[in-house]
Chain A
């Protein structure tokens, strides 16, 4: 179970991430995108999901990642990202509820480049009963 005291709190990701051209190329290849100078709109899930997993499974937060289902996802892109960008990620647990034994957690992640907010992403994660 998620620790209810964590709701409303913001957790900083451990490391900043520098995007490489090769990882953007690989993502573009999957979706058939030929313009690789800018990361596709959903590319940063590669960063945020990894950071979430590390944050939300910390012992003091306690989410069970093994039974996780992705419920919905939203991106707001203030400035597109590209290779060479150095990004930090912070995750805020915005809401938490239990319905029919399922835990439903809404998390916002804010990606910043040199302190400037470039992408906010909202994920609803469901831990199945």
Chain B
């Protein structure tokens, strides 16, 4: 039995330019702001940024791991409030934790936290899983 208020173990993912390229190919989202620094700067971004959906996919892995597999994830939502900035040659962190918000009827609702370089990157991030 998992009690409301339980804080789950933190997991740190690492993002670099190679991962962004791999995600672009896997998702089909080839927007150059996620791969081309010159282009990203030209549209007013501080550097190349990760796809919001890559951040959400990695946090989704955290949720699936907690739930015992992707098949147990019923709902998952997030707001993209700040970009994950990925400079060339660097590995940046995506640090994920969660708190149990509800636990009833075999379902658990999680409130998710995701930060990179200490900055909160997802807002209102929630998931409902079977567990």
* Chain A contact residues, CB within 8 Å of chain B: 23, 26-27, 29-33, 35, 38-43, 45-46, 49-50, 69-77, 80, 122
Given A74-B75, A77-B75: A23 and B69 within 8 A (CB)?
Answer: no
B70 and A30 contacting across the interface, CB-CB below 8 Å: no
Task: Return chain B residues, CB-CB under 8 Å to A29.
Answer: 22, 26
How many angstroms from the CA of A42 to the CA of B127 in the assembled complex? 12
Contact partner of B60 among A31, A72, A76, CB < 8 A?
A31
How many angstroms from the CA of A43 to the CA of B23 in the assembled complex? 11
B74 and A76 contacting across the interface, CB-CB below 8 Å: yes
B76 and A31 contacting across the interface, CB-CB below 8 Å: no
CB distance from A62 to the nearest CB of B (A): 20
Known: A27-B27, A30-B22, A31-B58. 8 other contacts (CB 8 A): A29-B26, A40-B57, A49-B28, A50-B28, A72-B80, A74-B75, A74-B78, A76-B75
A30 and B54 contacting across the interface, CB-CB below 8 Å: yes
How many angstroms from the CA of A70 to the CA of B102 in the assembled complex? 28
Could you tell me the dominant secondary structure of chain B's interface residues? helix
How many angstroms from the CA of A27 to the CA of B25 in the assembled complex? 9
Contact partner of A71 among B29, B53, B61, B80, CB < 8 A?
B80
Task: Return chain B residues, CB-CB under 8 Å to A50.
Answer: 28
Contact partner of B77 among A69, A72, A80, CB < 8 A?
A72
Task: Return chain B residues, CB-CB under 8 Å to A70.
Answer: 52-53, 80
How many angstroms from the CA of A23 to the CA of B63 in the assembled complex? 21
Contact partner of B29 among A23, A49, A76, CB < 8 A?
A49
A40 and B77 contacting across the interface, CB-CB below 8 Å: no
Contact partner of A72 among B13, B54, B63, B79, CB < 8 A?
B79
Does B1 belong to the interface (CB within 8 Å)? Answer: no
Does B64 belong to the interface (CB within 8 Å)? Answer: yes
Does B124 belong to the interface (CB within 8 Å)? Answer: yes
Q: Which 7 A-B residue pairs are closest in the complex by CB-CB distance?
A: A74-B77, A72-B79, A26-B26, A41-B73, A31-B61, A27-B26, A41-B60
Chain A residue nearest to B25 (CB atoms) is: A26
How many angstroms from the CA of A50 to the CA of B26 in the assembled complex? 13
How many angstroms from the CA of A85 to the CA of B28 in the assembled complex? 19
Given A31-B57, A70-B53, A73-B52: A38 and B26 within 8 A (CB)?
Answer: no
Contact partner of A42 among B13, B56, B71, CB < 8 A?
B56
A-B contact pairs, 14 of them (CB 8 A): A30-B54, A31-B61, A41-B60, A46-B26, A46-B28, A49-B29, A70-B80, A72-B77, A72-B80, A73-B77, A73-B78, A77-B73, A80-B73, A122-B77
